[in-house]
Homo-oligomer: A and B are copies of this chain.
Amino acid sequence: MISMQDIADRLGVSRSTVSLVLSGKAGSRVSEDVKKKVFETARELNYHVNEVARSLRTGSSRLISVIVTDISNEFFGRLTLHIQEAAKQAGYLVLTINTNEDPREFEEMVRVLLSKKVDGIIAVPPPGGEETVETIRSMGVPVVTVDRPAKDTDFVGIDNYAASRAAIESMIKDGFRSISLVALDLDIAPLNQRRDAYVDTMKAHGLDEYVDIRLIPFGKEAETDFIETLSGLRTVDAVYFTSRRAFTQTMAHVVWVGMSIPDSQCLFCFDDIRPYLNALSDVRFVEQPVKEIGRKSFELLQAQMQGAQGTGNYLYPTQIITKRKS
C-alpha cells in the first residue's frame, strides 16, 4: 500500500509537506513547484489517502448512520435515499441499519456505531428505544429522530393526528359512514396518533357506532392471521389503513381468503399508494413529503455536527390525494 511517506521519499521532502499539499491546506506555505511534483507523484504511484488513519488522527470519521426499522419498506427506502443524497453532497458516507422494531437490536447497533466513531446518527427509534437515543446524546454524538419523536432531540416528521383527522373528514364529507380502521399491531407514536384521530373524529361526527379497529399481527405472514382481521370488512362503506404496510398486506391476502373489494367501497391509506389508483374504484391516500423530511433531517444533523444544540421539532404538511374511477 502506497503511503504519503512513499511520495515524500520519492521527492526527498517530508511527509508533512505531502500531507499539506494533498489535503489542500498548503496555501502559500508550499512552493508551486513542490506542489506540482507532489500531485504528479501521487498520481503516478496511484496514491489514495487512507481515511482510517485520517479518522484516527482527526477524530472525525465522515461517517453517519441512518437507523430505520426496515429498509425494505418503501417509505424508509425513500427516506434513506434522500438522506444519502444530501450526505453525499456534504462528503459523508452512510451506514444503514435495520432494527426490525426491536429496541435491543437498536441498542446493540448504536453501541457498535459509537465504537465505529460515526459523526452522527439519524434514527427512527423503535418502541422502547428512548433510552438508547438518550445514550447517543450523552456520548456527545449528534442525533436527529425522524418519523417518531424522542425527548430533547431534533425531530422531523409530520402531524399525524391532524393528517389523520383530515383523512377521516374527507371520507365523511363524501357520505361514507361506516369506516373501519386496519392497522399493524404495533405500539408506535405515529400509528397511535392516526388511530386516535380516527376515533375522535368519528365520535365528533356522531359515528361512534361505526368505530371499528382491526389489527394485523406484526411480523407474521400466515393467512390465518388475517381471517379475523378481514372478516365482514366487505360490508363497510370505507376502509382506512393507517400505513402502507397495513394496506399492502391486506391487499395481498384479501384474495387468498376469497374476498373481493366492492366497487362502492372507499379505500384510504396513510402513505402513497399511487400505483393502485387505477385498480380500485375509490382510492385515496395521505402523501408525506419524504424528500423534504429526508433532506431536513440531514441538514439538522449537519448543524449539530457543527455545534448547534438541536432540540427543535419540524413538522411538514401532508396532502390528500383522491382519485375515483370514472
Contact of A52 among B55, B72, B74, B98 (CB under 8 A): B55
Bound Cα distance from A111 to B77, whole angstroms: 24
Bound Cα distance from A180 to B34, whole angstroms: 64
A97 contacts which chain B residues (CB < 8 A)? Answer: 84, 93
Bound Cα distance from A280 to B276, whole angstroms: 10
Bound Cα distance from A98 to B276, whole angstroms: 27
Bound Cα distance from A326 to B254, whole angstroms: 13
A98 contacts which chain B residues (CB < 8 A)? Answer: 81, 84-85
A203 interface residue, CB < 8 Å from B?
no
Known contacts A71-B81, A81-B70, A96-B96; is-contact A114 B252 (Cβ 8 Å): no
A274 interface residue, CB < 8 Å from B?
yes
Number of copies: 2
A115 x B278 contact (CB < 8 A): no
What total of chain A residues lie within 8 Å of the partner, measured CB to CB? 57
A50 x B95 contact (CB < 8 A): no
Closest B residue to A261 by beta carbon equals B278
Distance of A7 from chain B, by nearest CB (Å) = 16
Distance of A34 from chain B, by nearest CB (Å) = 23
Contact of A251 among B78, B80, B94, B276 (CB under 8 A): B276
A325 contacts which chain B residues (CB < 8 A)? Answer: 255, 260
A55 contacts which chain B residues (CB < 8 A)? Answer: 52
A276 contacts which chain B residues (CB < 8 A)? Answer: 251, 275-276, 279
A72 x B61 contact (CB < 8 A): no
Contact of A93 among B71, B116, B259 (CB under 8 A): B116
Closest 7 CB pairs of A and B: A279-B279, A255-B278, A72-B77, A248-B275, A72-B78, A77-B77, A251-B275
